[in-house]
Structure 1
């Protein structure tokens, strides 16, 4: 974080991306850093309502001031152009000021389609991946591995 490196955790559901991101966030808190955790769905809602809802503006101010921002389930759902532009602006605000950890089940090669605009996707990736480690987490879903059934 002192070098504002980013981390992208990629892999299918259930392999531990969110678990690892939370653990890294807790370690950062233990080191005295300000950490913000937000799901992509919540983040889009906050960005869209920032101008109208005081609570959204306050939450986004805290996110922009954090040393580490964890964004969970990046590209879980397709975005409209306005949403993609708002997300790009946030990434620009955080660029070289905060470290970002993203979790996603889709690789950066498919982000253009999900963002609805290849140009915006390229601009976001340019800033996110400038100083970044990408970790591919593969394997079985921990949830399915330890799944229990009500019926025997």
Structure 2
């Protein structure tokens, strides 16, 4: 099993041809039975990043189980990837034989912190 954030993954993909560390980490990801990618599509990708991500997903497709977390729905991915064709190719591989779990609840990080946002007056 391998866990990686999307930011870390993009950094590895962009530096793989230059650094041994990125090569080793990506080889571990490619060899994993389960790959968990957190915060997918939290920010837009440029064309090169989208293509590198597609190649990784294409390699993992039918070799590994993949768990993705994202706060964006698949219909927003084309805009974030800047290329509808690449987005469709990635989604085609990701959604084939997929289970999609929608969690439409408030952030679990903020669940117990809502009291911080309640305005209270301080009286002397």
* TM-score, L = length of structure 1: 0.74
- The gaps in structure 1 that reach 5 residues or longer are 1-34
Alpha-carbon shift at residue 141 of structure 1 (Å): 2.1
Any residues of structure 2 matched to 1:47-66 within 5 Å, and which?
Answer: 47-66=13-32
Q: Which residue of structure 1 lines up, in the alignment, with residue 44 of structure 2? A: 78
Which stretches in structure 2 are left out of the alignment for 5+ residues?
none
By how many angstroms is 1:139 displaced?
Answer: 1.5
Aligned to 2:105: 139
Larger Rg: 2
**Counterpart position of 2:34:** 68
RMSD: 1.4
What pairs with 1:7-46 in structure 2 (closer than 5 Å)? 35-46=1-12
**TM-score, with length taken from structure 2:** 0.90
Aligned match of 1:118: 84
**Alpha-carbon shift at residue 143 of structure 1 (Å):** 2.5
Which gives a bigger RCO, structure 1 or 2 (Cα 8 Å, sep 6+)?
1
Give the distance between the partners of 1:66 and 1:141, measured in 2 at CA. Answer: 29
Q: Which runs of 4+ in 1 moved over 4 A?
A: none
For these two proteins, the number of residue pairs brought into alignment is 117
Cα shift at 1:114 = 0.4
Higher strand residue share: 1
